[in-house]
Chain A
Amino acid sequence: MFAITVDIVLNSLVLGGIFVIMGVGLNIIYGLNRVMNLAHGALYALGAYFGFSVVAAGGNYFVALVTAPIIVGILGLVIERVLITPMRKRSMIYTLILTYGLMFVIDGLIKFFWGVETRFIHLPEFMQGSVSLGSASYPVFRLVILIGIAAVVAALMLLLGRTRLGINMRAAAEIPEMVSACGVNVRGVQISGFVLGCMMAGTAGVLAGPLFTVFPIMGHDMLISSFVVVVIGGLGSLRGAVIAALMIGFVQTLAEFFITEMAMVIVYMLMALILVIKPLGILGEGKFE
C-alpha cells in the first residue's frame, strides 16, 4: 500500500512537472505573442531527439539537458522570425493553422533524420537502479528528473520574478503599449518570450526522454495534454497552468494506474467538466503570473 502511494505521488509529480514546463512555455508564447503554438509538441519531441543525439555522440545526460534546449531555442528564433512575425497582423486562426502545418513539417523531419524506431537515451551509471524510500523503492533516474524539473521551475520563477527581462515579459503580456512607452524594446521581449517558450518545450523533451522513451509521435499526446492544461488553467495564466498541470498529472497517473487504456478519456472528461463550470479556465483569462 505504502509502495503504491509513493509510486503514485512521485509519478504524479514527475508527470505534472513535465506538464508544468510545457504548459507554462505555451502560456508564455501565447501571453506575449498571442500565438497558440501547435508545434509545441513537436518541439518537445525535437528536444528529446536532440538530447538523444547528444548522448549518443558521447556527451552525458546532463550535457544534453543543457544543449538540447538551446538548440531548440535557436530553432524557435528562426521560426519566430520567418513564420510568426509576418503573421502578426493577421487573424489568429491563420497562425494557428500555420503552426499546425509546422508541426507536421517537424514531425516529418524527425522521421527523416532519426527514423521511426524508438530511441533510448543512455543514462549515466548512478542514475540506473532504484533507491529505497522506507518500504518502497523508486527508480533513481525518476528522482533525478524530478530534481531537474524543480530546478527548471525554480530558474523560471527567478527569471520572471527577478530579472529585468522577466519583469518586462510579464508586463508586456498584459499591456505591451505601456511597456513600449517606458522605452523598452517590446518586440525584443516578445521574441525572447517565444524563444523561451520553445526552449521550455525542448527542456521538457529532454527530461521526458528517459521517462517515455523517444519516438516520433511522442509530441502528439503531450501536445493535447498541454492544451488541456492551458485551457483548464486559463489561457495566459501561468499560475493557472501550474495548478492545472499538477492536477492533470495526478489525475492521469491515477487513471493510468487503474484503467490504463482509457486514462486519457478520463482526463478529457474532467476537462469538459471543469469547462462547464468555469468556461474560461480555473483562473480565467487571468493575469500573467
Chain B
Amino acid sequence: MQRLNGGRAMWITTAVMVAVLAVLPFILPNRFYIRLVNEIMIYGLLAMSLDVLLGYTGLLSFMHNAYLGLGAYATGLFMIHIWPESIWVAMLVGIAFTVAVALPVGWVQVRTGGLAFALLTLAFGMMFYTVAWKWYDLTGGDDGLMGLPQPDITLFGLKLASSGNSTAIYLFTLAILLICFLFTWRVIHSPLGAVLEAIRENEERASFVGINVRRYKLIGWMMACGLAGAAGSVYILYRGYTGPGVMGAFEGAGVLMMVLLGGMGTLWGPFIGAALFIVLKDQLSSWTQDWEIFIGAIVILLVLFLPKGVAGLPALFQRASGGED
C-alpha cells in the first residue's frame, strides 16, 4: 500500500466535506437525519481508529467496539456519580480509562503473533462485554446506563448550548471528530506513522532495521483504543444512554466491515464505510429479519472481490477499462 500523499486536492476535499457537514444540521428536514449523520460520524471515528490499527499497523481486532463501550461507560459513570456538570472532563476521563485498560490488555496481546492477537481481541472483547452485562450494580446490566445528566456545553466558562439539543450534540461531535482526525492525520504522516506502516508491511524486516516492534505495536494499539474511547465518550453524550449491546460481537464485526467497505489504509475510507454500513443496516433490517445473513454474505463478497473497499474502486475501474496497472 502506498502512503497517501496530502496534496492540495485532498485538503480542499476535506475542507469542503467539513463545511458541508457543519451546515447540514441547519438544512436537514428533521431530527432523524441529523441524528443519523451524527451516528455515522461517531462510528466513522470508531472505524477510523480501527483502521489505524488494521490498515496502518496491520493488527486485526474483532471487537474494537469494546473500547468504544469502555469509553462510553466510563464517561457515563463519571457524569452520573462524580461530576454531572462536566462534559470535557468526563470525556477526558472516558478516554483515559479506555487507554488505561488498553495498556495491560495490549501489552499481553502484542506479545503474541498476529493471528493470536486477533483471537485475543475477541476473547478480551467478550470479557468486557460479559462484565458490562453481568455487573448489574455498576453498569445496569442489560438495562444499560440510565439517568445520564444533560449538562450545558461550555467552553472557557461560556455557555455554548445545552447538550439536550440535537444540533448542539451534532456540532460537538463534528468538533471532536475534526480534532481526532487531524491528530490521526498528523501521526500517520509522522515518523511514528512510518514505523507503524513498516511493521504492517514486514515485521521481521522492521525489527532488523532496529524498530522495537512490540513497543510500536503497543503504541499503535493504544492510539487506536484511545480514539475508540473518544468515540465512546461522544457516543454516550449523543445517545444519553448506553447498554452492553454496543459492545457485542456482532457490532464488532460491523466496525470491521465499515473499515473493509470503505478501504483499509486510508483515513477517510472508514467514514464512507461507516456511512454505507449504517445506511445499509437501516435498510436491510427494515426489509428482513434475517439481515445477519446478508451482512455476512456482503463481508464474504467484499473479501473475495473487493478487499480494498470503496477506496479500491478507482483502481478497479482503471484496470477494467484497460488503464495501466
Contacts and interface: CB of A to CB of B under 8 A. Distances in A.
Interface residues on B, range: 35 or more
B246 interface: no
A272 B108 contact: yes
A101 B296 contact: yes
- Describe B's contact surface by its main secondary structure: helix
A230 interface: yes
A87 interface: yes
Give the interface centre of B111, B113, B293 by most chain A CB atoms within 10 Å: B293
B112 A268 contact: no
A102 B131 CA distance: 27
B127 interface: yes
A122 interface: no
Interface in B171-191: none
A272 B111 CA distance: 11
Give the interface centre of B120, B123, B307 by most chain A CB atoms within 10 Å: B123
Interface stretch (A65-73, A89-97, A201-209): A89-97
B118 interface: yes
Contacts of B113: 235, 280, 285
Interface residues of A, number: 44
B198 to A, nearest CB: 16
Interface in A245-271: 261-262, 264-265, 268, 271
Interface string B98-124: 000000010010011111101110111
B249 A96 contact: no
Interface stretch (B22-30, B39-47, B297-305): B297-305
Contacts, number: 123
B37 interface: no
B253 interface: yes
Contacts of B60: 93, 96-97
A172 to B, nearest CB: 19
Interface in B283-304: 290-300, 303-304
A115 to B, nearest CB: 11
A124 interface: no
Interface string B253-291: 100100010000000000000000000000000000011
A104 to B, nearest CB: 3
Interface string A226-241: 0110110001000000
A103 B300 CA distance: 10
A235 B118 CA distance: 13
A226 B111 CA distance: 20
Contacts of A261: 134
B134 A227 contact: no
A93 B62 CA distance: 11
Nearest to B303: A98
Interface string B50-88: 000010001010100000000000000000000000000
A100 B299 contact: yes
Contacts of A36: 115, 118-119
Contacts of A276: 108, 111
B304 A228 contact: no
Lowest 5 CB-CB distances: which A-B pairs, in order?
A101-B299, A104-B296, A108-B293, A105-B296, A108-B292
Interface of B: 54, 58, 60, 62, 105, 108, 111-116, 118-120, 122-124, 126-127, 130-131, 134, 249-250, 253, 256, 260, 290-300, 303-304, 307
Interface of A: 36, 83, 86-87, 90, 92-98, 100-109, 111-112, 220, 224, 227-228, 230-231, 235, 261-262, 264-265, 268, 271-272, 275-276, 279-281, 285
Given A87-B303, A93-B58, A279-B111, 12 more contacts: A94-B303, A97-B60, A97-B260, A98-B303, A98-B304, A101-B300, A105-B297, A108-B290, A108-B293, A111-B292, A231-B112, A231-B116
